[in-house]
Amino acid sequence: MESATIINELIEYTKEHLNRVQVFKEMPLEQLNHRNQPESWSILECLEHLNLYGDFYLPEIKRRIAASRHQNNRQFKSGRLGNYFVNLIKPKENLNKMKTGKSVNPIGSTLDAQVIDKFIQQQEQMLVLLNDARRVNLSKTKTSISLTKLVKLRLGDTLRFVIYHNERHILQAEKVLEGVIVI
């Protein structure tokens, strides 16, 4: 796969995420905190979950890009484990339920509209990082993952995972508005 093609696709996803989340800024706090079921997440809980992931991945990606000695070779080859994670998290027509770790599960948190502002700020930061990633080799530059620092993924896989994970939970937040239960 062409590195530039992947980065351009991820930039478009991120811009779309920013546009879709802007709609939530106009909604009353009561609606943003509404859950369709006691065990499902509200719109703000979906976004807070993404913020918690962003708190780990954005500094990690930034640090790895800055430290990379591997210049862009124009091609990206996904790793076996990275591709597995990307395909696992990538939204499908019927989203499969997944267990969330306690440290990134916001259910029951007291949340306000600042969650949306933080998400927007993180996505603006992601756009900068995606452009910065153009200068490094997406296959040879490695990042740690949030589950364990012992496992490293290729930067291209990490970027794909984080942005597809965002897509998954923005869809989930939008379904809260429709009254559709998605966990």
Q: List the one residue out of 46, 170, 47, 45 whose CA is nearest residue 110.
A: 45
Taking the CB of residue 155, how many other CB atoms lie within 10 A of it? 27
Tens of pLDDT, residues 146-176:
877 778 999 999 999 999 999 999 999 999 9
Question: Does the pLDDT at position 182 exceed 70?
Answer: no
Would you state the pLDDT for residue 111?
95
Tens of pLDDT, residues 54-101:
999 999 999 999 999 998 888 999 999 999 999 998 887 766 676 777
Would you state the pLDDT for residue 146?
85
Q: How far is Cα 127 from Cα 140, in angstroms, rounded to an integer?
A: 21
Domains in the chain: boundaries: 3-178
Residue 183: which pLDDT band, with cuts at 50, 70 and 90? very low
CATH code that applies to domain 3-178: 1.20.120.450
Tens of pLDDT, residues 29-54:
999 999 988 889 999 999 999 999 99
